[in-house]
Amino acid sequence: MASGFGRLLGGTLLASLVFGGTAFACELKIGSPAVLSGPAAQWGLALRGALEFVAKETMAEERLVIDGTPCTVTPVVIDSKYTAEGAASAMNALAAEGIKVVVGAVGSPEVTGMKPVANRNRMVAMVNSFAKDAIGPQWPNVFHIGPGPSGWAAPIIDKGLELYDFDKVAIVAPNDQGGTDIASVNAQIFTEKGVTAVEEYYQRGTTNFAPIVTRLLAADPGAVDLASSPAGDAGIIVKQLRQAGFTGPIFRLGGPGTEEIGRVAGGLNVLQDFLWFEPVAMDDNLRALEQKHVELMGGPRPENSDFFRWVYAARMMIKAVQAAQTVDDSEKIAEAMRALPVDDEHIGAGHWIGQSFFGINQELSYPFAIGVIQGGEQKDFIRAEAVSEG
């Protein structure tokens, strides 16, 4: 009897220590369904790298303090495999851990899969995706890290038309939402610029694109747009286009990843004439951010420049949590986010947009850049100002 009472007392003491401890601790867990395998892995590695960096920066500089207590920030990253089911499964695992704050995912199929889970579990999320319905009024707590091709394709096409003479473009992309939504928007913008656009889609998982390339060239295009084809796929397509004798300019109006495309294709000489969307224009501020990454993380930033966009997104999320003074009330965090100015100490200021395209003003817009390789030689990035509405 006495020993039973002793065990009860000990258990009560232990429980009070455990629960008492958590009552005063402040921990923000940032969940992330990120593609960490497959041909799109480079994008997910940039997302994971940005989250780890921002978490460490926040703790090192005590940027998140709730009720006077500096919070720890823990990224919880799960491979979403660039699929809707992979992202939904990752989100369910995050929800099971009680995570309410999410940064990611990268691709349209993933974001399509994760949004219903985010709604159901009252999570606030900052997503990428170039899908036509990446965000919307039906997902009030989902924010968008930046415009898709509807925002930045036009100035890149203008630059291409200034440098090269072509009146027909062949657009190639995977035959799922991650490909068709982007390719169709690109086609519309090319058409508005007076360029005839033909669209061609391939099955995700294709490894040899020689037949697709033959079909593309049968349309006799003056230019090719790789749209949102993952970097690994895009590199093979470029290599096989050049082998087939295509000499025109190649656009990639779908996301960064030019380094990997170049490696797979066989170098800048194979890319030859190449234009792409670059998330940021490299300047002294960004070089300072790179240096800060080296100091905090002990190594260089992830190669893909989407890293900068995810740093922007993660820092905005931290600011919103700080303003809301809660790590688990997603409604309050979302409300605080809407009231924040769009600004980042390294990347620059911008504004909220999205009302005209998505029906909800929850898209970050900030300066970006146009990347150009001409004659096999990479040129300086061309800075483009933040897209605005109205």
Partner 1 sequence: MEGFIATGLIGISLGSQYTLLALGFTLIFGILGVVNFAHGGFYVMGGYVAYYCTSMLGLSYPVALLIAVGSTAMLGWLFETLILERVIEDHQATLMVTMGFYLVMATAILMIFGAESPEFSFPIAGVWRAGGVYFPYANMVVLGVCLAAIVLVYWLVYRTNLGRAMRAMAEDRAVASALGMRTKVLFPFAFALATGLAGLTGALVTPILALAPHVGDPVLAFSFLTVILGGLGSVTGATVAAFIVGLVEAYAAVYLGGSKGALTLFVLVLIILVIRPQGLLGKEVRRA
Of the candidates 184, 142, 364, 373, which has an alpha carbon nearest to the alpha carbon of residue 261? 373
Taking CB under 8 A as the criterion, the residue among 120, 263, 287, 379 binding partner 1 is 263
Of the candidates 157, 115, 150, 160, which has an alpha carbon nearest to the alpha carbon of residue 136? 115
For helices 284-297 and 306-324, angle between their N-to-C axes, nearest 10 degrees: 80
Does residue 184 interact with partner 1 by CB under 8 A? no
Does residue 250 interact with partner 1 by CB under 8 A? no
Q: Binders of partner 1 among 218-247, rule CB under 8 A?
A: 218, 231-232, 235-236, 243-245
Per-residue DSSP letter, 71: P
Least distance to partner 1 from the beta carbon of 372, Å?
Answer: 21
Q: How far apart are CA 112 and CA 141, in angstroms?
A: 14
Does residue 211 interact with partner 1 by CB under 8 A? yes
Q: Which is nearer to partner 1, 29 or 242 (CB)?
A: 242
Of the candidates 248, 261, 255, which has an alpha carbon nearest to the alpha carbon of residue 195? 248
3-class state of residue 85 by DSSP:
helix
Does residue 42 interact with partner 1 by CB under 8 A? yes
Q: How far apart are CA 226 and CA 179, in angstroms?
A: 10
Does residue 194 interact with partner 1 by CB under 8 A? no
Does residue 268 interact with partner 1 by CB under 8 A? no
3-class state of residue 22 by DSSP:
helix
For helices 149-163 and 177-192, angle between their N-to-C axes, nearest 10 degrees: 50
Of the candidates 375, 149, 154, which has an alpha carbon nearest to the alpha carbon of residue 249? 375
Does residue 39 interact with partner 1 by CB under 8 A? yes
Segment contacting partner 1 by CB under 8 A, of 65-73, 187-195, 199-207, 280-288: 199-207
Taking CB under 8 A as the criterion, the residue among 133, 283, 290, 303 binding partner 1 is 303
Does residue 207 interact with partner 1 by CB under 8 A? yes
The residue count for binding partner 1 (CB under 8 A) is 37
Q: Binders of partner 1 among 281-300, rule CB under 8 A?
A: none
Let me know the angle formed at the C-alpha of 314 by 43 and 204, rounded to the nearest 5 degrees.
20
Taking CB under 8 A as the criterion, the residue among 76, 132, 188, 201 binding partner 1 is 201
**Residue 37 contacts residue 107 (beta carbons within 8 Å):** no
Q: Which is nearer to partner 1, 232 or 249 (CB)?
A: 232
Does residue 279 interact with partner 1 by CB under 8 A? no
Q: Which two tokens stand for residue 202?
A: 């391939």
Segment contacting partner 1 by CB under 8 A, of 8-16, 42-50, 64-72, 345-353: 42-50
Residues in the chain, how many?
390
Beta strands at 382-384 and 368-374: parallel, antiparallel or unpaired: antiparallel
Least distance to partner 1 from the beta carbon of 146, Å?
Answer: 22
Q: Which is nearer to partner 1, 16 or 37 (CB)?
A: 37
Q: Binders of partner 1 among 90-149, rule CB under 8 A?
A: none
Of the candidates 180, 235, 228, 188, which has an alpha carbon nearest to the alpha carbon of residue 213? 235
Beta strands at 368-374 and 274-278: parallel, antiparallel or unpaired: antiparallel
Taking CB under 8 A as the criterion, the residue among 21, 205, 298, 390 binding partner 1 is 205
Least distance to partner 1 from the beta carbon of 24, Å?
Answer: 38
Which positions lie near partner 1, rule CB under 8 A?
A: 36-39, 41-42, 44-45, 175, 200-203, 205-208, 210-212, 214-215, 218, 231-232, 235-236, 243-245, 260, 262-264, 266-267, 303
